[in-house]
């Protein structure tokens, strides 16, 4: 028997996130997920009048391919993937993970080669399709969240089927305030004191139409305006490797010093290309159901009371001109539980210890979003 929560989730993904229309071609990209959710999505796309297409992937298979890949092999695979993507109108990706560090023993050079060849596929999908990306609950994710498998599944379906239309209305005042802002200042523990400008760059509300779960408004710093120090307090996994206590020092937009639990590895990634040491995104997170990190960025970047700063590629919707093969969201949680902190826009205190301060932003505090 199909879990009715799967049908509710499929309604969100097809009816709300991608707003699939009759005749539209929809790619369902499934990574280590149960066949039941794939078939539920297929049926829901058909019900909407769309044409579903499916690609299924396994992380262990992907590891074997990338581990011994050649340039010629990646070029052929990426070329065909791009042509296929160009035939799609909508894209729904479900990404399960039985082992979040499956790629940890793949050489960094192989991962970069794969990213280089497949980046045009991702760029086309982001800029030319109606897309949504989400994780799928697994025991591995439950462990990272410090929950039982059942507890995590219940949490997952609650957070993924929030009333995102209600959230969308609450985000508008923040979008408007960010688009009136020049100077941002972030203050926090461990000498965190970072300033940058967001003047003239659009602010984009995220309301369940790109990521599930959702709950953020993002923009980008003016590329050469970032100065100061920031230390992140949410652990992260990038390229299959774990990083904690990341501390970045910026001068005129560029990361001039980076230390972490694995300082050598973080600098190797930040040396991928010139753009990797500049920031492509700045965002405030406020999903009321997500209150602690679990080393999964689609959840962690939405933590209530968090911000994230992203070395690497900027999004076209909020473009500061930075280009890179990487896009690495790093999360700082500013609630009391995680040490507190403050955010100022042009000298106005916007958020203190994870809670929005101005009257016009009260709708984004947790009690007003559930």
What was the pLDDT predicted at 101? Answer: 85
Cα 103 from Cα 111, distance rounded (Å) = 9
319 and 275 in one domain? yes
Instruction: Give the pLDDT band of residue 145 (cuts 50, 70, 90).
Output: confident
Q: How many other C-beta atoms are found inside a 10 Å radius of the C-beta of residue 235? A: 18
What was the pLDDT predicted at 165? Answer: 86
Which of 291-300, 310-319, 334-343, 360-369 is predicted least confidently? 291-300
363 and 282 in one domain? yes
- Asked whether 241 and 101 are in contact (CB, 8 A), the reply is yes
Q: How many other C-beta atoms are found inside a 10 Å radius of the C-beta of residue 261? A: 13
pLDDT at position 1 over 80: no
188 and 63 in one domain? no
**Residue percentage of the chain with pLDDT more than 90:** 87
Over the chain, what is the mean pLDDT?
Answer: 95
Last residue within a domain, chosen from 160, 181, 205 = 160
198 and 147 in one domain? no
312 and 255 in one domain? yes
DSSP state string for 166-200: HHHHHHHHHHHHHHT--EEEEEETTTEEEEEE-TT
Reading the block at residue 338, the tokens are 């995680």
pLDDT tens digit string along 231-290?
999 999 998 889 999 999 999 999 999 999 999 999 999 999 999 999 999 999 999 999
Measured at the CA of 126, the angle between CA 178 and CA 41, to 5 degrees, comes to 110
Q: How many domains does the chain have?
A: 2
345 and 227 in one domain? yes
229 and 114 in one domain? no
Expressed in angstroms, the distance from the first to the final Cα of the chain is: 30
269 and 131 in one domain? no
Q: Which domain holds residue 99?
A: 4-160
Last residue within a domain, chosen from 110, 126, 160 = 160
189 and 294 in one domain? yes
Q: How many other C-beta atoms are found inside a 10 Å radius of the C-beta of residue 273? A: 15
182 and 58 in one domain? no
204 and 103 in one domain? no
* pTM (two decimals): 0.82
Which of 19-23, 135-139, 175-179, 350-354 is predicted least confidently? 135-139
Last residue within a domain, chosen from 114, 142, 160 = 160
336 and 233 in one domain? yes
What was the pLDDT predicted at 2? Answer: 84
Instruction: Give the pLDDT band of residue 30 (cuts 50, 70, 90).
Output: very high
Residue 145 belongs to domain with CATH number: 3.40.1830.10
């Amino acid at each position: 028997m199909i879990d009715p929560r799967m049908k509710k989730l499929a309604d969100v993904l097809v009816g709300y996130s991608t707003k699939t229309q009759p005749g539209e071609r929809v790619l369902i990209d499934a990574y280590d997920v149960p066949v039941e959710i794939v078939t539920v999505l297929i049926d829901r796309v058909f019900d909407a009048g769309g044409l579903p297409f499916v690609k299924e992937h396994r992380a262990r298979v992907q590891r074997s391919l990338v581990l011994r890949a050649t340039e010629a092999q990646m070029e052929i695979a990426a070329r065909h993937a791009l042509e296929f993507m160009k035939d799609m109108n909508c894209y729904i990706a479900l990404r399960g993970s039985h082992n979040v560090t499956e790629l940890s023993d793949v050489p960094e050079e192989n991962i970069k080669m794969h990213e280089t060849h497949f980046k045009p596929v991702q760029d086309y999908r982001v800029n030319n399709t109606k897309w949504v990306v989400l994780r799928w609950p697994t025991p591995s994710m439950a462990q990272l969240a410090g929950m039982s498998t059942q507890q995590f599944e219940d949490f997952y379906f609650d957070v993924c089927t929030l009333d995102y239309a209600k959230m969308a209305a609450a985000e508008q005042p923040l979008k408007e305030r960010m688009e009136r802002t020049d100077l941002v200042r972030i203050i926090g523990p461990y000498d965190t004191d970072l300033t940058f400008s967001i003047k003239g760059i659009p602010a984009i509300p995220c309301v369940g139409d790109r990521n599930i779960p959702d709950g953020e408004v993002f923009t980008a710093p003016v590329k050469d305006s970032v100065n100061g120090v920031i230390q992140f307090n949410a652990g992260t996994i990038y390229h299959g490797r774990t990083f904690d206590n990341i501390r970045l020092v910026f001068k005129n937009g560029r990361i001039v010093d980076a230390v972490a639990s694995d300082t050598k590895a973080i600098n190797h990634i930040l040396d991928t290309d010139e753009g990797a040491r500049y920031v492509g995104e700045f965002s405030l997170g406020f999903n009321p159901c997500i209150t602690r990190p679990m080393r999964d960025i689609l959840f962690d970047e939405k933590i209530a009371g968090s911000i994230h700063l992203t070395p690497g590629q900027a999004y076209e919707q909020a473009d500061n001109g930075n280009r890179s093969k990487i896009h690495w969201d790093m999360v700082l949680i500013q609630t009391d539980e995680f040490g507190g902190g403050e955010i100022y826009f042009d000298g106005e205190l916007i958020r203190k210890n994870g809670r929005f301060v101005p009257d016009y932003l009260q709708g984004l505090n947790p009690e007003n979003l559930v």
